[in-house]
Amino acid sequence: MARVAARASASAPAVVQPDRAARSRRAPEGTPLIYVVMCLLAGGAVMVYSASSGTTVVQGGDGMGFLTKYVVYAALGFVAMHWIARTPLDRVLRMTGPLLAVSMALLFAVKVPGLGVSVNGAQRWLGAGPLQFQPSEIAKLALVLYAARFLAERPRGLRTIKDLLPLGIVVISSVGLVLLQPDLGTALVIIFTMGAMLVAAGVPWPWIWTLGGCGAFLVSLYSLSAPYRRARLTTFLNPWDHAADAGFQSVQGQIAIGSGGVVGRGLGQSVQKIFYLPEAHTDFILAIIGEELGLLGIFGLIVLYGAFAWAGLRIAQQAKGRYAALLAGGLTSLVLCQASLNLFAVLGLAPLTGVPLPFISYGSTNLVVLLAATGLLINVARGGSVHLRAVTQGPDAQRSTADADDLRDRRRGDSRARGAGARGGRRAAG
């Protein structure tokens, strides 16, 4: 307890302290993050119903179909969230390796003929019926967990850019498999999230620029490698010239948002959702929000994501230990990267990549995985930490991790190279 107090006093006002300490033992509902997620889920349920019911009813189906599934997956996600929020982080740490291995295996399985299920020309799914899921979504989470462990394990071990090689190999092979599906959207979310984690981990800027440059080059190469991907790029530059074919979805989305105006047509009043706008209840649900709830609805959503970023990164800043901080930062980045990518694509600021809007879009695996990630964030918020240094730092383990971090960090602020060298070297030896 004293440890917590000492650590927290360094970063947060003392007044908040007892409150937070007390809350850490209570239910996860205590953090602002959970309110944000609940708001997003409520909005998501309403919008998924609104965006999907019209079309399904017209097609002679059950208007409640997608809503029911959304609620079922959200409930599943809640269970996962609740469980993960209470699981000791070191168990999470132990499961990182197997999870990564499994997710990689699943990414391979997707490409196996007969196993992978093809939807809209992309092989992204495994399983059948209600048990169908997207391995790339699991890979996203596994990679964040792995990167957090990797970067936390060797804060000083990264002397040259080559020290990032193990992480690089894992990320590149995963992203490669995702790109093969092909699923540029998820790949980009992974790449951006990994970048954000490198930034958070304090990796020197020149490395980040170098890696960023390489990543941008490879992604552009990939984007130009297939005709339909090239078409997407040209379409992005001027969707109205391709309104009848390649730009159709983009244009219909813009029409939906534009015709919604400032206050929207009213909930349930979208016309675009009925056979005009493809994927109205998944990737393009933002357009329906715009059409029905107007600019105000979009602003509300953006404010919620902003609040998620604030709450998530606040958890990261107040996390106990480097691993927990990087984990929280990485998970928050995962959500925000996905949200930004979707917003940019639908608003015509980026080419279409096919990423669901976090917590809002209908997307079974994504929703469950994001709620599981929220569970991890809550875990960290409740004070979850891993004593990585207990193993690696020998005598230091007797002292508080927080104190050690503070000391080290303060020192590194003065002289990064020396600090990193001493600690990193010792731990690598241990």
Partner 1 sequence: MPQIERRLGLLFAVFVGALAIAALKAGYMTVIKGGGLSAVASSQQVTVRKVPARRGSIVDRQGTPLATSEPADDISATPYLIKDPVKVADKLAPILGTEPATLARQLARRDTGFVYLKRQVPATTSEKVRALKLEGIDLTPGHLRSYPRGMLASQVIGAVGTDGNGLFGLEYSREKQLRGTDGEQRLVFDGARQAINVRDVRPTKAGDAVRLTIDAEIQSQTEQVLQGVGETYKAKGATAIVMDPRDGSVLALANWPRINANDPGSATAEALQDKAVGLTYEPGSTFKPFTVAGALEEGAVTPKTSFNLPPTITMYDRTIGESHDRGWATLDTAGILAQSSNVGTIFIGRRLGARRFDHWVHRFGFGRKTGVDLPGEEQGLVIPYEKYSGVSMGNLPIGQGLLVTPMQMMAAYAAIANGGVLHRPRVVEEVNGRRVAGDKGTRIISEQTAAHIRRMLEGVLAPGGTASEVSIPGYKLAGKTGTANKIDPATGEYSKERYVASFVGMAPARHPELLVAVIVDEPQGAIYGGEVAAPAFGKIAAFALPYLRISPN
In this structure, what token pair is assigned to residue 352?
């279409």
Looking at the Cβ atoms of 412 and 426, the one nearer to partner 1 is 412
Report, in Å, the least distance between residue 123 CB and partner 1. Answer: 28
Q: Which string of x and - marks every residue 244-283 that binds partner 1 (by CB under 8 A)?
A: ----------xxxxxxxxx--------xx-xxxx------
Looking at the Cβ atoms of 343 and 386, the one nearer to partner 1 is 343
In this structure, what token pair is assigned to residue 387?
């004593």
What residues from 337 to 366 belong to the interface with partner 1 (CB under 8 A)?
339-340, 343-344, 347-349
Closest CA to 318 of 92, 9, 1: 9
What residues from 139 to 168 belong to the interface with partner 1 (CB under 8 A)?
none
Residue 122 is inside which H or E element, if any?
strand 122-125
From 120-128, 136-144, 357-365, 401-409, span contacting partner 1 (CB under 8 A) = 401-409
Angle (deg, nearest 10), helices 184-200 and 135-153: 20
196 near partner 1, rule: CB under 8 A: yes
Report, in Å, the least distance between residue 306 CB and partner 1. Answer: 5
Cα 189 to Cα 195: distance, rounded to the nearest angstrom: 10
Q: Which string of x and - marks every residue 307-336 that binds partner 1 (by CB under 8 A)?
A: --xx--x--xx----x--xx--x--xx--x
Report, in Å, the least distance between residue 68 CB and partner 1. Answer: 23
Report DSSP letters for 240-270, one per residue.
GGGTTTTTHHHHHHHHHHHHHTTT-S-TT--
Q: Which of 46, 161, 180, 199 binds partner 1 (CB under 8 A)?
A: 199
Q: Which string of x and - marks every residue 210-249 that binds partner 1 (by CB under 8 A)?
A: ----------------------------------------
Taking the CA atoms of the chain, what radius of gyration do you get in angstroms?
Answer: 22
66 phi and psi angles, rounded to 5 deg: -70, -35
What residues from 39 to 98 belong to the interface with partner 1 (CB under 8 A)?
54, 58
Helical residues (DSSP H) of 26-88, grouped into ranges: 32-58, 65-86
Looking at the Cβ atoms of 90 and 406, the one nearer to partner 1 is 406
Q: How many residues bind partner 1 (CB under 8 A)?
A: 56
Looking at the Cβ atoms of 143 and 316, the one nearer to partner 1 is 316
Q: How far is CA 157 from CA 90, 147, 151, 165, 426, in A?
A: 21, 14, 9, 12, 9
Cis peptide before 113 (omega within 30 of 0): no
The number of beta carbons lying within 10 Å of the beta carbon of residue 119 is 11
In terms of Cβ atoms closer than 10 Å to its own Cβ (0-12, 13-18, 19+), residue 322 is: buried
Q: Residues in the site for partner 1, rule: CB under 8 A?
A: 11, 54, 58, 196, 199-202, 254-262, 271-272, 274-277, 290, 294-295, 298-299, 302, 305-306, 309-310, 313, 316-317, 322, 325-326, 329, 332-333, 336, 339-340, 343-344, 347-349, 405-406, 409-410, 412-413
